[in-house]
C-alpha cells in the first residue's frame, strides 16, 4: 500500500523581483511528499531551495503551478487563507531557531499551540509532551539564552511538532549546529519521520545529514535534477561520505 500523499506540487514556477531585476527562481518544479518519509532537498546556494520551501510552506504563492496540502488546493487563497492552512497542517523549523527570547522553552511551544487554537491545560500538557519527545524534559523552564544551539533547535522542533501537523518543513536545521548537535537533530527528525501521519522535508546542503534521509531530492537552477531513495547500502555509503567530509 502506498504512503499517504501529504503535499503535491506540480509545475511550480516562481518569479522574484521586478523589471530588470526579475529572476526566475523556480522553473517548473514537480514534487510530492509522502507520510512517513524524511526528504532532503539539496542543492547549491541560489538553486531555489528556500524559495521552494517557502512555497511548499504556503508562505510564498507560486507565479504558476499548483500546490495542494492533504488534498486542499492553495490556489486563490489570500494571505489569511494561507495562514490558516499553515496553522492546520504545517510546522516549521528554522535555521536560526526563531525562538522567542522572552519566553521559556515550554512557553515557546505553548505559543505555537496557542496560534493553532490549542489553549489551557491541554496546551500545557501537549507542550510538555512535545519537549519530552525531543529530550528536553529537564529544560522546560529555561529561556533560549540559557540553552545550547542544539537544545534551541530541539525546542523549535517541539514547537513545530506540537499540534501534530501533517507536514514539517525544516530550513537548514543543522547549519548553525556543531557536528554532534547536527547529527542529533537529524536523528531526531529521522525518528519523527517514522510517524506514518507526517512527512518531513529538510532543506540542506550539509552532507552529514544524508544518512538520515529516506529520500534525497536535488535541485539546481530552479529545477529538480535528480532524486534518490535510500536503501541500506546507499545509507551506509552516505554515512561513509559524511564521515569523510566531517
Partner 1 sequence: MVLTLAFRNLFHDRIRLVVTLVGILFSIVLVAVQLGLYLGARKMIVGMIDNARVELWITAFGAKSFEESGSLNGGERYIALSVPGVASVEPLVAAFNEWRKPAGGTALSVVVGTDLAEGSLKPWNLVAGNDADLFGPDAVIVDRTYLKELGITGLGDAAQIDVMRVKVVAMTEGIRSFTTAPYVFMTLDRARQVQGMTGNQTTFLLVKLEPGADRDTVQKALAARLPDVEVLTTETFRQRSLAHWLFSTGAGVALIGGAFLGTLVGTVIVAQTLYSSTKDHLNEFATLRALGSSAGYIHRVILLQAALSAAIGYGLGMTLALAIIEASKNTALPIIMTPGLAVGLLVLTVFMCAISALAAIMKVTRIDPAMVFAR
When asked if residue 84 is in the footprint of partner 1 (CB under 8 A), the reply is yes
Contact between 86 and partner 1 per CB under 8 A: yes
Q: Does 124 bind partner 1 (CB under 8 A)?
A: no
- Three cell numbers written together for 218: 536535488
110 part of the interface to partner 1, by CB under 8 A:
yes
Q: Determine the interface stretch with partner 1 among 39-47, 93-101, 146-154, 181-189 (rule: CB under 8 A).
A: 93-101
- Cα 239 from Cα 236, distance rounded (Å): 5
Residue 66: beta bridge partners?
10
Work out which of 8, 72, 114, 221 binds partner 1, going by CB under 8 A.
114
In the stretch 140-179, what mask flags binding to partner 1 with x, by CB under 8 A? -------------------x-----------x--------
107 binds partner 1 per the rule CB under 8 A: yes
In the complex, what is the shortest distance from the CB of residue 164 to partner 1, in angstroms, rounded to a whole number? 14
> Would you count residue 102 as binding partner 1 (CB under 8 A)?
yes
Name the one range near partner 1 by CB under 8 A: 6-14, 38-46, 91-99, 213-221. Answer: 91-99
Q: Any contact of residue 115 with partner 1 (CB under 8 A)? A: yes
Contacts of 21 (CB under 8 A, 6+ apart): none
Counting contacts by CB under 8 A, is residue 39 touching partner 1?
A: no
Closer Cβ to partner 1, 101 or 232, answer by number? 101
CA distance 26 to 15: 7
Rule CB under 8 A: say whether 73 interacts with partner 1.
no
Q: Which residue lies nearer to partner 1 by CB, 7 or 53?
A: 53
Residue 62 found at the interface with partner 1 (CB under 8 A): no
Q: Is 54 in the site for partner 1 (CB under 8 A)?
A: yes
The edge-to-edge listing of strands for the beta sheet with 215-220 is 90-93, 167-171, 199-204, 38-42, 215-220, 223-229
Q: Which is nearer to partner 1, 49 or 139 (CB)?
A: 49
Residues that bind partner 1 (CB under 8 A): 50, 53-54, 57, 59-60, 79-80, 83-88, 90, 92, 94-96, 98, 100-103, 107, 110-112, 114-116, 119, 159, 171
Amino acid at each position: 500500500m502506498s504512503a499517504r500523499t501529504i503535499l503535491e506540487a506540480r509545475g511550480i514556477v516562481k518569479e522574484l523581483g521586478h523589471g530588470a531585476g526579475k529572476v526566475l527562481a523556480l522553473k517548473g518544479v514537480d514534487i510530492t511528499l509522502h507520510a512517513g518519509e524524511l526528504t532532503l532537498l539539496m542543492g547549491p546556494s541560489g538553486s531555489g531551495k528556500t524559495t521552494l520551501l517557502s512555497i511548499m510552506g504556503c508562505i510564498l504563492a507560486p507565479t504558476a503551478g499548483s500546490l495542494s496540502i492533504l488534498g486542499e488546493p492553495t490556489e486563490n487563497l489570500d494571505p489569511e487563507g494561507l495562514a490558516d492552512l499553515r496553522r492546520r497542517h504545517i510546522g516549521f523549523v528554522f535555521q536560526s531557531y526563531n525562538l522567542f527570547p522572552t519566553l521559556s522553552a515550554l512557553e515557546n511551544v505553548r505559543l505555537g499551540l496557542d496560534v493553532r487554537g490549542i489553549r489551557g491545560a491541554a496546551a500545557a500538557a501537549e507542550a510538555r509532551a512535545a519537549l519530552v519527545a525531543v529530550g528536553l524534559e529537564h529544560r522546560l523552564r529555561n529561556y533560549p539564552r540559557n540553552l545550547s544551539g542544539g537544545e534551541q533547535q530541539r525546542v523549535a522542533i517541539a514547537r513545530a511538532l506540537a499540534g501534530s501537523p501533517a507536514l514539517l518543513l525544516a530550513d537548514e536545521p543543522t547549519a548553525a549546529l556543531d557536528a554532534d548537535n547536527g547529527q542529533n537533530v537529524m536523528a531526531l527528525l529521522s525518528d519523527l519521520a517514522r510517524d506514518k501521519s507526517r512527512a518531513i522535508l529538510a532543506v540542506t546542503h550539509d552532507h552529514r545529514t544524508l544518512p538520515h534521509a529516506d529520500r534525497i531530492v536535488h535541485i539546481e537552477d530552479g529545477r529538480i535534477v535528480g532524486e534518490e531513495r535510500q536503501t541500506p547500502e546507499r545509507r551506509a555509503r552516505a554515512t561513509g561520505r559524511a564521515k569523510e567530509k566531517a
